[in-house]
Amino acid sequence: MRYISTRGAAAPLEFEDVLLEGLARDGGLYVPESWPTISPDEIAAMADWPYEKVAQRIMQPFVPAELAEALPGIIEKAYGTFRSDAVTPMISLGGIQDGLHLMELFHGPTLAFKDVAMQVLGGLFEHVLAKRDERVTIIGATSGDTGSAAIEAVRGRERARIFILHPHGRTSDVQRKQMTTVDAPNVFNIALEGTFDDCQNLLKAMFNDETFRDRVSMSGVNSINWARLMPQIVYYFIAALKLHGPDAATKPTSFSVPTGNFGDIYAGYAAAKMGLPVERLVIASNQNDILTRVMNTGEHTLGPVAKTIAPSMDIQISSNFERLMFDMLGRDGGAVAQKMSQLKDDGTFTLPEASLDTVRGLFGAHRADEQETLDAMKRAHDVTGELLDPHTAIGVVAALADMQSHPSESSTPMVVLGTAHPAKFPAAVERATGQTPPLPEFLGDLYEREERYDVLPNDLAAVQAYVAERV
Ligand X SMILES: *Cc1c(COP(=O)(O)O)cnc(C)c1O
The residues binding ligand X (CB under 6 A) are 112, 114, 145, 223, 258-264, 312-313, 391, 419-420
- Which alpha helices (H) appear in 40-103, and where do they start and end? 40-45, 51-59, 65-80
Distance of closest approach, residue 323 Cβ to ligand X, in angstroms:
12
**Which is nearer to ligand X, 19 or 420 (by Cβ)?**
420
Kindly list the distances between the CA atom of residue 92 and the CA atoms of 203, 280, 397, 417, 464, in Å, as whole numbers in the listed order: 39, 18, 16, 12, 48
Closest distance of CB 39 from ligand X, Å: 28
Residue type at position 137: T
Integer angstrom CA distances of residue 380 from 274, 388, 412, 415: 33, 7, 21, 15
> Sheet harboring 278-285: ordered strands across?
90-92, 100-104, 414-418, 253-258, 278-285, 363-367
| DSSP letter assigned to residue 29 | B
User: How far, in Å, CA of 384 to CA of 390, rounded?
Assistant: 16
Minimum distance from residue 394 beta carbon to ligand X (Å): 8
d(CA 255, CA 398): 10
Tell me how far, at minimum, the Cβ of 425 lies from ligand X, in Å. 8
What is the spatial distance between Cα 30 and Cα 461, in angstroms, rounded to a whole number? 27
Q: Please provide the size of the chain in residues.
A: 471
For the bound state, the minimum distance from the C-beta of residue 410 to ligand X, rounded and expressed in Å, comes to 26
Picking from 415, 420, 366, the residue whose alpha carbon sits closest to that of residue 388 is 420
Instruction: Give the number of other CB atoms < 10 A from CB of residue 469.
Output: 7
Nearer to ligand X (CB atom), residue 126 or residue 389: 389
Shortest CB 312 distance to ligand X, Å: 3
**How many Å apart are CA 398 and CA 373, to the nearest integer?**
10
355 vs 454: CA distance, rounded Å: 45
* Closer of 263 and 426 to ligand X (Cβ): 263
Of residues 188 and 262, the one with the C-beta less far from ligand X: 262
List the alpha helices (DSSP H) in 347-389.
353-360, 370-384
Which residues, listed in sequence order, are joined to residue 161 by a DSSP beta bridge?
Answer: 137
Least distance CB 298 / ligand X (angstroms) = 21
DSSP 163-220: EEEEETT-S-HHHHHHHHT---TTEEEEEESS-HHHHHHHHHHHHH-HHHHHHTTEE-
In the complex with ligand X, the residue whose CB is nearer, 204 or 244, is 204
Task: Please answer whether residues 363 and 282 qualify as being in contact, where contact means their C-beta atoms are separated by less than 8 angstroms.
Answer: yes
Q: Is 253 helix (H, G, I), strand (E, B) or coil?
A: strand
Helices (H) and strands (E) in the chain, counts: 19, 16
In the annotation, is 339 catalytic?
Answer: no
Of these residues, 53, 77, 114, 378, which one is catalytic?
Answer: 114
| Closest distance to ligand X from the beta carbon of 263 (Å) | 3
Quick one: 99 or 263, whose CB is closer to ligand X? 263
Q: Which is nearer to ligand X, 216 or 272 (CB)?
A: 272
Closer residue to ligand X in complex, CB, 312/464:
312
Show which residues are catalytic.
114
